[in-house]
Amino acid sequence: MASTGSNSAPSPAGGDGETGLEALALAKVAEAADAIAAAASAGEVVRAIHAVAALLFPVDSAAVAGTVEEPFRTQIIEAVSLSNDTRNSWRRAFYDGPAFPTMSRILLGNVALKWLRKIHASTRNEIYDSFFVKGPPTEVIQALVPALSEKKDSKEDDRTFYLNLERLLILCLLDNKGVSQIVVEFTHSNKHGNDVPNPDKTIFISRVAQLLASVPDKARLGASAALTSTSFFKHVVSQLLAGAEAATVQLTADKDANEHCALSSLFLFVGEVLSRVSRRGSTGILVAELIPRIRNHLQRCVPSDHKAISPEMIQHVSQSQFWFNMVEVMRDQHSIERLTEELLRQLASQHASDEEAYWILWTFFNQSFKRLTVMRAMFVDKFLLWKTFPLCCLRWILHYAVFECAPNSATETLMQRTPNFFGTLQSLVSIWSRKEFVQSYSVEQQAYITAAIGLCLEKLTKKELETTKDVLNSILQGVSCRLESPIDLIRKMASAVALTFSKVVDPKNPLYLDDNCCENVDWEFGILSPKKIKAPLHAVESKNKPKSRENKRNAGEKKAKAIKHDIPDTRAKIVEIKSVDHDQMSDTVMNGQFEEEECDEESMNIDASSDSSLEPYDLSDDDTDLQKKFSHLSDLAAALRKPDDPDGVENALSSAEKLVRASPDELRHNSSDLVRALVHVCCSDLAMEGEEDSAEEKRQKALVALLVTCPFESLDVLTKLLYSSSVDISQRILIIDVMTEAAQELAETKIVKTEQRHGNLITDNSPSWLVPSNRGPPGAGPWREVSEPGTLLSWSHRYEREVPSRSGQVKSGKSRKWGLGKAKDFQVEWSKNRLPLYAAAFMLPVMQGYDKRSHGVDLLNRDFVVLGKLVYMLGVCMKCMAMHPEASALAPALLDMIKSRDVSQHAEAYVRRSVLFAASCILISLHPSYVASSLIEGNQDISTGLEWIRTWALQVAEADPDTECTSMAMTCLRLHSEMALQTSRALESAGHSKTSRGLPTKLDSIIIPFGNM
């Protein structure tokens, strides 16, 4: 037991000044350590801790003594009580010297593990917690946080140790506002200094900030929810901002204080903590605390008799000094960028007004934006050229960093431009005009920069435009290269910029490149809203044929409708093939013609017998009555070759599909000639303005009908015309489109057969023929209808009922079944897929010569739209003959084509999307048993081709700039993994069934991609 001499405290004057008192404090700690180490009861531990605590804090000794037994109760009560000044001297010596680190290790180690649970809660709060709660938070945090990394001998000791540590951290930093105390401590410690903090002080402040920010990282997995990053950083940032703002106001009002030195220490600590919080991924928490505080501050800056805010109003408020310096003192540029980006996004999600967002940015960044080049580069370069924000954020960035004026302000009204404005506009349009930018940047990034250019052009005048260098040429070049794109959204960007630019040049004559253009351009383009800017885009291409008259006149876009990758959310299917019902059409073609003729004759008879026929009537020509009705294909082809007779050509187009689907005997002999005539007919010359689409649609339907009814002859002509120099790009696109539609129709043909029954099957007096008789053994259950097994809907009817067992029968009763044969009235029979028969004729000829460059043909470069549509058509063919033997035979040839670097690594995203689509179609078209047999037999073409699909799709998913390509690549990888799984099952079944034939020891592997990701 320790000596009772410890009850008397030496005088502070007994040592050699402050150093001597630190030595005395350390001696007191040593006495307490010896007493605790030798203690046999909790009372002795309480007395030893109390002996040190009474020197530092005003302790309620009577309350502490009441929780222990004698003789420790008397020793605690008889302890010497010190004055406040003496205790303050002891406290400074205790925490500034080595005494507190030593005492904290004793309290956190031996006392916490062995005795703390035996000490009364009130005593623990009075003498144990006081060492941490009432001490300087900068010293306390250096004692508690590093201890989170310590390990104890047993799991039970670990749990006890960490629970106590976490309790003390929550008590000191959160409940007792420890962060606010740290702010006050750093402020007052330098309040009367002579200069900025010395290097040692700077290191100390950084260390405290580092320890504070590392608490959530060091806390154990099952720690209190208050120590998770979300909750902990929320409290820390809240205390930090409130304390720093209050300290700034106090220092500004104190005339005697060294404001610069104190603010330097304060801002250094604030900047270090905010940077580390942002670095640890909690920028959102930080910004969520910043926004309401800065809003309240701006409201304080505006007098009640003013509606608008000005820079002078903000500068005259004392708290503004803190907000002006907050971003600059962070010093970590990466953290500043993350904070600014999150600030913009949260303001957008909260629907902040343009004026409010501008003044928030001005308050945060105005001081550093003027002085630091890196801050200007962040806004003008990174936030305009490299990042993608919602449209409202883009407006705020432009107003603050480019226009340099508040929205709806007098400066904006006067159209005063800064030199930075013209330099930024020149930089934007120079990048936007490059073809490489269209090819290699994501659609979202292109829309973002396009919107930035458009918003800048809206502020420009014609006189200012004339003073800029190369802006006109860059805009024209950018519009031109975008109009060549098959992606509808890219063309829409070109139309928007062209319209805005034309208003600058000649406001009275705006240029509309698209019929869908509005006077007020929507710069969001459907993808720059706050909700959609973060989500992956699943459909950025046009899903309808272009309706624009201007696009129709452009040869490169006449048929450049975007590929329809109709992919549902589950991405299980690559394309949704629509069911085409041509049966009713084919069954009623000839009847329809006869009915029309009969109607005409009947109407003539009515007119002849009517009295009104004697009345005068208009004798002008009726074009409908004068139209020639074609009954022979040869006449139809001849009419299509008469460009000087547009009415005859239009009439021939209207009759072509019906006549072809009627399948006359002459079809096989005249199909080739008719195909050539339809391909070369010029619909734009014969149709009225605005009705070109109708004529194009008739021509396309007629060609599809020819391909379906007479495939070989029609394909022979079309495949030769595809690479012929006698057709242009629009005709090549037409050929591929009709081949795609014909392949889908051949794959989904149905035949309706009608079979009539003769004689009465039932009479009115006969029992119901549909339901079986109710006769049966006693106790039999009622009949109930059940579905045909294996089908969702059946023409047959099955009924079942339960029959009771006979007396003495042990086995369970059986069900008796009664049913009818399948009804044959109006039975629908699906024919077999007809496409596999013609698949080789569809695919093989067009896969030869695609990479050859000749006069008028350049698929790999200039005519990339044709290449993309060609690959898409080949993918559709594979999809339509899935699981057929022909798919296995044609897949290697298609794999060889898409594996070509010129195709798979094409610069245009349109082509890469088509290749991904075709690769996915190959994966779903190959039967797993065929893939398994190819591996067993050592077929290298299939194994290497499938492995190439996996590796290439993985590269696209990781690095392709186009969002749709990455999404389709992930779908392709998933289909590959499903195919690999089915193939592995087929290999296992082959190994079990073919015991007489051993499998090769080394098989080519098909890797399941998600196993390596």
Q: What is the pLDDT of residues 930-979, one digit of tens each?
A: 888 888 888 788 889 999 999 999 999 999 999 899 999 999 999 999 99
pLDDT band at 16 (very low <50, low <70, confident <90, very high): low
Outline which parts of the chain fall under CATH 1.25.40.720. Answer: 574-600+627-755+825-857
The sign of the torsion formed by the CA atoms of 17, 19, 20, 21 equals: positive
Quick one: pLDDT at residue 198? 63
Output 121 or 467, whichever has higher pLDDT: 121
Beta-sheet pairing, 828-830 with 816-819: unpaired
Q: Provide mean pLDDT across the span 436-454.
A: 91
d(CA 237, CA 243): 10
Per-residue confidence at 784, pLDDT binned at 50, 70, 90?
confident
Per-residue pLDDT tens for 556-593? 333 333 333 333 333 333 433 333 343 343 343 334 44
Write out pLDDT tens, residues 451-498. 999 999 998 888 888 888 788 899 999 999 999 888 889 999 999 999
Average pLDDT over residues 104-131: 90
- Is 998's pLDDT higher than 90? no
Across the strands, what pairs with 854?
A: 857
Higher pLDDT, 995 or 650: 650
User: In whole angstroms, what is the distance from residue 567 CA to residue 551 CA?
Assistant: 26
Give the pLDDT band of residue 180 (cuts 50, 70, 90): very high
Distance CA 931, CA 946 (A): 10
List b or e across 891-913, with b for residues whose CB sees 16 or more CB atoms inside 10 angstroms.
Answer: bbebbebbbeeebbebbbbbbbb
Give the residue with greater pLDDT, 295 vs 1001: 295
- Residue 553: pLDDT band by 50, 70, 90 thresholds? very low
CA distances from 574 to 570, 904, 917, 951 (A): 10, 18, 7, 19
Question: Residue 929: exposed, middle, or buried by beta-carbon count in 10 A (0-12, 13-18, 19+)?
Answer: middle
Mean pLDDT computed over 32-52:
90
> In this predicted structure, what is the pLDDT of residue 838?
94
Summary mean pLDDT of the chain: 79
Rounded Cα distance between 860 and 862, Å, is 7
For the ranges 523-532, 847-856, 883-892, 999-1008, the one whose mean pLDDT is highest = 883-892
Arithmetic mean of pLDDT, 159-178: 92
Using CA atoms, how far residue 998 sits from 406, 704, 992, 995, in Å, is: 80, 50, 10, 7
- Percent of the chain whose predicted confidence (pLDDT) is above 70: 76
What pLDDT score was predicted for residue 519? Answer: 78
Place of tokens 């962070």: 330
The model carries a pTM of 0.71
- Return the pLDDT at 958: 93
Contact criterion met (CB below 8 Å) for 894 and 939: no
Report the distance separating Cα 847 and Cα 859, nearest Å. Answer: 12
pLDDT at 762 over 70: no
Cα separation, 862 vs 866, in Å, equals 9
Query: What's the Cα-to-Cα distance from 622 to each of 625, 627, 639, 642, 918, rounded to whole Å?
Result: 5, 9, 20, 21, 51
Residue 765: the pLDDT is: 52
The pLDDT of residue 685 is: 57
pLDDT for 1009 equals 45
Q: What token pair was written down for 194?
A: 């002579």
The helix/strand/coil state of 755 is: coil
Q: 250 pLDDT band (50/70/90 cuts)?
A: confident
Could you give the CA distance from residue 520 to residue 515 in angstroms, rounded to a whole number? Answer: 14
pLDDT at 194: 45
Of residues 134 and 1003, more confidently modeled: 134
Q: Are 1008 and 980 in contact (CB under 8 A)?
A: yes
Q: How many helices (H) and strands (E) does the chain have?
A: 48, 5
pLDDT in tens, 334-378: 999 999 999 999 999 999 999 999 999 999 998 888 888 899 999
- 546 to 287, 308, 713: CA distances (angstroms): 45, 48, 30
User: So what's the pLDDT on residue 651?
Assistant: 82
Helix H or strand E segment including 464: helix 462-467
For residue 181, name the pLDDT band (cuts at 50, 70, 90). Answer: very high
Q: What is the mean pLDDT of residues 857-864?
A: 89
Does position 756 have pLDDT exceeding 80, yes or no?
no
pLDDT at position 1005: 52
* Mean pLDDT, rounded, for 717-734: 92
- Quick one: pLDDT at residue 791? 46
pLDDT on residue 1012: 39
Q: Tell me, what's the pLDDT at 563? A: 37
Q: What is the pLDDT of residue 427?
A: 92
Cβ neighbours for 729, distance < 8 A, ≥ 6 positions apart: 555, 556, 558, 863, 865, 866
What amino acid is encoded at 693 in this protein?
Answer: D
Q: Is 594 exposed, middle or buried (0-12, 13-18, 19+ CB in 10 A)?
A: exposed
Q: Which two tokens stand for residue 771?
A: 């339901």
User: What pLDDT is recorded for position 174?
Assistant: 93
With a cut of 90, say whether residue 899 has pLDDT above it: yes
Among 628, 731, 742, which Cα is nearest to 683's? 731
DSSP-derived 3-state class of residue 10: coil
The 10 Å Cβ neighbour count of residue 585 is 15
- Highest mean pLDDT pick, 436-450, 616-630, 753-767, 815-829: 436-450
Which H or E run contains 786? strand 784-786
* Alpha carbon separation from 668 to 9, 709, 740, 959 (Å, rounded): 120, 9, 21, 51
Tell whether the model's pLDDT for residue 750 goes beyond 60. no
The pLDDT score that the predictor gives to residue 546 is 37
Angle between helices 835-843 and 729-747 (to 10 degrees): 160
Residue 832: exposure state from Cβ atoms within 10 A (0-12, 13-18, ≥19): exposed
- Tell me what pLDDT residue 769 has: 53
Positive/negative CA dihedral, 416, 417, 418, 419: negative
Instruction: Return the pLDDT at 551.
Output: 40
Residues in contact with 513: Cβ distance below 8 Å, sequence separation at least 6, in sequence order: 479, 483, 494, 495, 498, 499, 548, 550
Tell me what pLDDT residue 686 has.
58
Tens of pLDDT, residues 795-851: 456 777 777 766 655 554 445 444 444 444 444 444 578 999 999 999 999 999 888
CATH domain 574-600+627-755+825-857 topology: 1.25.40
CB 521 within 8 A of CB 496: yes
Q: What is the pLDDT of residues 187-217, one digit of tens each?
A: 876 654 544 456 678 899 999 999 999 999 9
